[in-house]
């Protein structure tokens, strides 16, 4: 069976395998059914071996970062869900550039740059996702986004083919994937500026004060051009609206929080209710920032 081969390959490469592992344990929303197999890979060689097992057995592959901007069905995820660890969580500074693995936390990028006397990435402070996840949504804050500072991305596809994408091949659009569909990030190069920027700790504190602390997936909707989504939702008096244990946060209208054992269906339906209410009251259509996982660019599906 492919599960036995997968376990052997992963453990031989220093990784870990869980079968039927609840993904609710691995997402900030605390929602998500079991992964058929959840693995951590610590090296690129290990990742390629996992890909070979999946390809040989027509098993779907997905890469999950820190699970901070995703909503996962209670039915779980078929195939192999991969988490990047080990060498993929290493970050170094050389001159005015940062080299970081896709598993590095965005907040750590901001902190490392500040410690090196550099600026340009402080807007990433307090964002709880990883570099790889941030590239899926072009994560950002305070008018800046990840694509503004990334100069190069080393990527791999589900067939194990690698490429290096320069800045001209990257996409810089609001909350849109930075890398083309079908590719996963392995490492990035980020350009910095010499000099001191805004304090990373002050930005963290500001985000902590403004955002709810209950389990959530962060901002649910992208901000329309006319007004931030949270303000629109507040103006429509939707704060506190609940469906089961899923609730529109009273602290920030663009957050849906899990008040304990919320279900996928409750969150998903509440999102649709909020969208419909805002459009009916204001004529403005909200688009989701939170993403269903697995993403459509996930790898080979089992036949």
Helix axes 44-56, 2-12, angle to 10 degrees: 170
Question: Side-chain half-sphere of 37: how many Cα atoms within 13 Å?
Answer: 23
Q: Which of 216, 219, 249, 298 is catalytic?
A: 219
Q: Which of 175, 187, 216, 266 is catalytic?
A: 175
| Contact (CB, 8 A) for 190 and 121 | yes
Q: What is the CA radius of gyration of the chain?
A: 19
CA distance 185 to 147: 13
Helices (H), the chain: 2-12, 44-56, 106-115, 131-137, 200-210, 229-235, 264-282
Q: Which residues contact 154 (CB under 8 A, 6 or more apart)?
A: 162, 163, 164, 165, 185, 186, 187, 188
Residue 163 token pair: 């490429």
Residue 89 token pair: 């969580």
CA distance 129 to 134: 6
Largest Cα span, the chain: 58
Q: Which of 66, 187, 289, 298 is catalytic?
A: 289
Three-class secondary structure of residue 89 per DSSP: helix
Active site residue 302: no
CA distance 186 to 260: 34
CA distance 219 to 126: 13
| Contact (CB, 8 A) for 286 and 270 | no
Active site residue 219: yes
Catalytic site positions: 175, 219, 289
């Amino acid at each position: 069976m492919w599960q036995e081969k997968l376990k052997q390959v992963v453990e031989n490469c220093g990784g870990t395998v869980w079968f039927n592992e609840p993904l609710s344990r691995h997402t900030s929303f605390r929602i998500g059914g079991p992964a058929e197999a959840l693995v951590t890979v610590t090296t690129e060689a290990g990742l390629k071996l996992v890909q070979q097992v999946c390809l040989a057995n027509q098993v779907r592959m997905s890469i999950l970062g820190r699970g901070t901007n995703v909503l996962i069905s209670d039915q779980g995820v078929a195939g192999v869900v991969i988490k990047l660890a080990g060498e993929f969580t290493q970050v170094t500074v050389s001159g005015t550039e940062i080299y970081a693995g896709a598993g590095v936390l965005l907040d750590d990028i901001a902190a490392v740059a500040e410690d090196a006397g550099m600026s340009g990435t402080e807007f990433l402070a307090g964002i709880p996702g990883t570099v790889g996840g941030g590239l899926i949504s072009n994560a950002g804050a305070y008018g800046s986004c990840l694509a503004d500072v990334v100069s190069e991305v080393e990527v791999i596809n589900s067939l194990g083919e690698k490429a290096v994408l320069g800045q001209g091949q990257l996409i810089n659009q609001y909350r849109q994937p930075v890398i083309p569909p079908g590719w996963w990030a392995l490492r990035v190069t980020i350009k910095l500026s010499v000099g001191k920027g805004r304090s990373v700790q002050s930005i963290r504190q500001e985000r902590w004060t403004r955002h709810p602390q209950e389990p959530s997936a962060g901002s649910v909707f992208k901000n329309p051009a006319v007004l931030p989504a949270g303000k629109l939702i507040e103006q429509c008096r939707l704060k506190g609206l609940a469906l089961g244990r899923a609730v529109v946060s009273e602290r920030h209208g663009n957050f849906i929080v899990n008040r304990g054992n919320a279900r996928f269906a409750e969150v998903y339906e509440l999102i649709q209710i909020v969208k419909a209410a805002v459009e009916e009251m204001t004529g403005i259509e909200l688009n989701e920032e939170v993403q269903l996982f697995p993403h459509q660019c996930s790898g080979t599906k089992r036949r």
